[in-house]
Each structure stands twice: as structure tokens, then as C-alpha cells.
Amino acid sequence: MQLSEYTQQPAPVQAPDDVQAPWRRADAEPFVRIENVSKHFGEFVAVDNVSLDIYQSELFCLLGGSGSGKSTLLRMLAGFETPTSGRILIDGVDISAIPAWKRPVNMMFQSYALFPHLSVADNVAFGLKRDGVPRAEVKKRVAEMLDLVQLGHLGRRKPHQLSGGQRQRAALARALIKRPKLLLLDEPLGALDKKLREETQFELINIQENLGVTFMVVTHDQEEAMTLSTRIGVMNQGEIVQVGEPHDLYEYPQNRFVAEFVGSVNLFEGQVTEDETDFVRIHSPEAGSSFFINHGISCAPGQKVWAAVRPEKIRISRDKPEQADNCLEGTIDEVAYMGSLSVFRVLLPGGRQIRVTKPNMARRFDERLNYRDRVWLSWSGDSCVVLTS
């Protein structure tokens, strides 16, 4: 986070829908505030001084690998773990001292944790019954909720009689029925197969938008995070490394960890040779070439930096492009045909490998680039991001 102070990168393009993106406004009031929260397990620091603001009706995603502290943070929000230090506020109320069973927060578990001895309808009704809601109202609200998740006809089944996707929706219904202020979802699509996951994620977004409940999702799957969320917080070793909209994280990563964790990237280590206000030039010995980047950065002369280029932003061609900058020659080392696109691994004379993806626009095979072809790689000055850490 602190890196952004001396890495001036072009500001993300301002979309006109600022009303729907309160995090872009300075005066917006956050709905969930996590203030300097840390969690230690003995010597081990699981969550390290995390501060985070989440706004009403957001679908916020915590993205990180295993052991990054994302699940511990989620469990602190649910009330299963107590922070070692720091506060958590929901809708202005400090919930740190409120036990899990009294918090206006519900959770959808990774294993779904449906009670195997209760029917689907009784599972969904469980939360309302604990609150002493009158029986007639429980029945009505359970029926409504089951209809919402398209399980209206399966209320009398036991969880083990449901398919994976149905179980996921039953768990969602159970977590939503108490109308929580914040819904926590632990790897909500993790247990589903790929095809079902794609359908379900849009369903999840629909339900979230209809109900306007604030969602907080924990996942290790960057694709899931990108499609679901309004904003993503990337976590590594207990710290939040970057918070931003999916587009920002992908196009303007602030450090190598985010660049490499979200999508794939080609990183070139190098040194700044020219540093002007509107461009920089970086010499990279491992690429055997200089890169031109059409925005300024502020850094010490001679400082070690990394130029990051996404595989799909690199043009690959048999003929030498006309541009003089950001141009490399190499040999195709490997081709992976994936249907909609092809992935090339190009070997530079110095031994460095570069990953390039190219959509397969033509159907005919003979026009395609092949193994051992000599090719030129090129990209424009604004496709590259300079990282200082």
C-alpha cells in the first residue's frame, strides 16, 4: 500500500456510475470498518494490522493463497475468533465484544455445514426459530427464501438427498434468512464443478443485487474473485497488499505479488535509464533490450525496477514490426492450443521465456504460428506497468 505513494501511475479511468461505487467518493460512509485488526496464534501472526472499509451493498472479495490470513479475518467478522488487537464496526456499532450468536452477521460455510438431521426447510428455518419468530411467519419467510434460491419444491428433502449445487443454494438461503447486515461467504463456489460454478456465480450476483445485502467473499480463486466482486482485497502473509476494483488490480498492480497472483504476467528486471515526467526508459539485461513506458514514475536513478507486461497485451508476428521500442525477437518454444486462444512460450536469445496469448481469429490451421517459428514480440508504451517492489 505504501508503495503507491512514490509510484505515480495513471489514475484509473473514472466511470460515471460513482453512485454505485461509493469507494470512489471521498464523503461516502463505510458500512463495515475493520480498524487495525491483528490476530496472533502464539508466535504466529495470522492477520497483521489490517484496516479495511467496506460499503453498503458491496460484494467485497478477500483474495489470497492458503495461510494468507483471509479465513482468519472472516472468522473474526463472524465472531469465531477474537482479534488480538483492533476493532470491527458494522453500521457504526463496535461488534468486537458481541458473541457470534448475537451478531448481525451470517456465514455461508465452505462445507455448507447443513445440519444433516434436519430437512432443507428446517435448516433454513433454524436461524428464525432461534430468534423466536412466530411460527406462521417462519413458515412464510422460509417458503419465500426457498423460492428465491429455486428450492421451493425440495424443502422436505434432507441435505444428503440434494445435489452439490442445490446444497450450495440451501446453505445460501439459510445464511440469508435472518437478513444479516453482512453475509460472509467462505469459498462459496469452491465445491462445485467448473460448469456449475459459472452458472452459480451469476446467480449469486443476482441475489446479492436484489437483496442489497453486503457480501464478503473469501476465495483463493482469482477468476471467481474477478467475476463476483465490486472490489477485491489481495492478502499475503496476513497483510492486505492491495485493494481495488478487479480492473485496477489487473491493469494497475502495485507490486509483483499482485501482478503475479492476479492473472499471469511477464516480469523483466531492469534499471531506469531515462526518467522524464511523461515517460521512462528501462534497460533490462535479461531481455537484452530497453523498454519505453509512456508514463512517468518517481524513483531514485539507477533503482532496480520491474517492467510487467500481460501475455495478451503482447503482439506476436512473423514480420518485424515498425515500432522501434518494446520489440523483441525470439523463437516459439511451445504452443498450447486452447480453442478460443493459443498460448505461446517464446524463447529469447538470452534464454528468457516469455508467455504470449493470442485469440484464434482464423479457423485455418496453416496461418497459425508454429513450434520453432522465428517471431517478433511487441507492445505499446502504455501496455507495460513499472513496479518498484
Partner 1 sequence: MMRYPGFMKTSAWLGFIFLYAPIVSLIVYSFNASKLVTVWGGFSFKWYAELLQNDQIIDAAMVSLKVAVSSATLAVVLGTLAGFCLSRFGRFRGRLALSGMITAPLVMPEVITGLSLLLLFVALEGMFGWPSGRGTTTVIIAHTTFCMAYVAVIVQSRLASLDESLEEAAMDLGAHPSTLFFLVTLPLIAPALISGWLLSFTLSLDDLVIASFVSGPGNSTLPMVIFSKVRLGVTPEINALATLMILVVAIGVLAAAWQMRRQTRRAPAA
Question: Smallest gap, in angstroms, from Cβ of residue 16 to partner 1?
Answer: 39
Cα 110 versus chain centre, distance: 17
Query: Does residue 127 interact with partner 1 by CB under 8 A?
Result: yes
Query: Does residue 365 interact with partner 1 by CB under 8 A?
Result: no
Q: How far apart are CA 145 and CA 148, in angstroms?
A: 5
Contact 266, 291 (CB under 8 A): no
Query: Does residue 42 interact with partner 1 by CB under 8 A?
Result: no
Pick the stretch among 10-18, 96-104, 235-243, 374-382 that binds partner 1 (CB under 8 A): 96-104
Pick the stretch among 2-10, 123-131, 295-303, 350-358 that binds partner 1 (CB under 8 A): 123-131
Site string for partner 1, 142-181 (x = CB under 8 A): ----------------xxx-------------xx--x---
* HEC string for 207-249: HHHHHCCEEEEEECCHHHHHHHCCEEEEEECCEEEEEECHHHH
Identity of the residue, 57 or 110, whose beta carbon is nearer to partner 1 in the bound complex: 110
Identity of the residue, 41 or 371, whose beta carbon is nearer to partner 1 in the bound complex: 41
| 231: β partners | 60
- Residue ranges in 223-242 that form contacts with partner 1 under rule CB under 8 A: none
- Residue in 245, 247, 244, 269 with CA at minimum distance from that of residue 256: 269
- Select the residue interacting with partner 1 from 35, 51, 109, 347 (CB under 8 A): 109
Helix axes 135-148, 164-176, angle to 10 degrees: 140
Pick the stretch among 122-130, 210-218, 254-262, 338-346 that binds partner 1 (CB under 8 A): 122-130
Identity of the residue, 53 or 187, whose beta carbon is nearer to partner 1 in the bound complex: 187
Identity of the residue, 171 or 258, whose beta carbon is nearer to partner 1 in the bound complex: 171
Site string for partner 1, 258-297 (x = CB under 8 A): ----------------------------------------
C-alpha dihedral, 166 to 198 to 107 to 190, nearest 10°? 90
- Select the residue interacting with partner 1 from 28, 113, 196, 347 (CB under 8 A): 113
Identity of the residue, 6 or 115, whose beta carbon is nearer to partner 1 in the bound complex: 115
Question: Smallest gap, in angstroms, from Cβ of residue 108 to partner 1?
Answer: 9
Q: How far apart are CA 14 and CA 354, in angstroms?
A: 32
- Number of residues interacting with partner 1: please give it, by CB under 8 A: 26
Contact 18, 74 (CB under 8 A): no
> What are the φ and ψ backbone dihedral angles of 345, each rounded to 5 degrees?
-110, 120
- Select the residue interacting with partner 1 from 27, 102, 195, 324 (CB under 8 A): 102
> What are the φ and ψ backbone dihedral angles of 217, each rounded to 5 degrees?
-110, 140
Q: How far apart are CA 338 and CA 247, in angstroms?
A: 24
Distances (CA, A) of 300 to 197, 269, 280, 304: 46, 15, 12, 9
- Select the residue interacting with partner 1 from 22, 64, 79, 83 (CB under 8 A): 79
- Select the residue interacting with partner 1 from 1, 15, 65, 115 (CB under 8 A): 115
Identity of the residue, 133 or 343, whose beta carbon is nearer to partner 1 in the bound complex: 133
Please count the CA atoms within 13 angstroms of the CA of 102 that sit on its side-chain side: 7
Angle at 96 between CA 92 and CA 102, to 5 degrees: 85
Binding site for partner 1 (CB under 8 A): 78-80, 100-102, 105-107, 109-111, 113, 115-117, 126-127, 130-131, 158-160, 174-175, 178
